[in-house]
Amino acid sequence: MENPKGKYAWTATVGEKGQIVIPKQAREVFGIKPGDTLILLGDEERGIAIPPKAAFSAYFEMAFGEEQGK
């Protein structure tokens, strides 16, 4: 079965220290390099998301930006 264009699925194993290895293809697709900082978003009902680096500022603004009208 072929993935829809731009959609991917990978698996990762959690090591003894709680670390995961991001699969090579995922690192290449999203331009993740050694030393990069990633953001992990968690929702107890929906799970964990690791958005692309380009989304950092948008997520940061949504989470910590000033409320409208103040």
Phi/psi at 26 (nearest 5 deg)? Answer: -65, -45
- Tokens 């699969």, residue located: 23
Q: What is the 3-state secondary structure (H, E, C) of the chain?
A: CCCCCCCCCCCCCECCCCCECCCHHHHHHHCCCCCCCCCCEEECCCEEECCCHHHHHHHHHHHHCCCCCC
User: To 5 degrees, how large is the angle CA 36–CA 39–CA 45?
Assistant: 150
pLDDT of 1 higher than 70 = no
The residue extents of the domains of the chain are: 36-70
Q: What is the pTM of this model?
A: 0.66
Over the stretch 5-53, which tens digit does the pLDDT of each residue have?
888 889 999 999 999 999 999 999 989 999 888 888 889 999 998 887 7
State the pLDDT at residue 22.
93
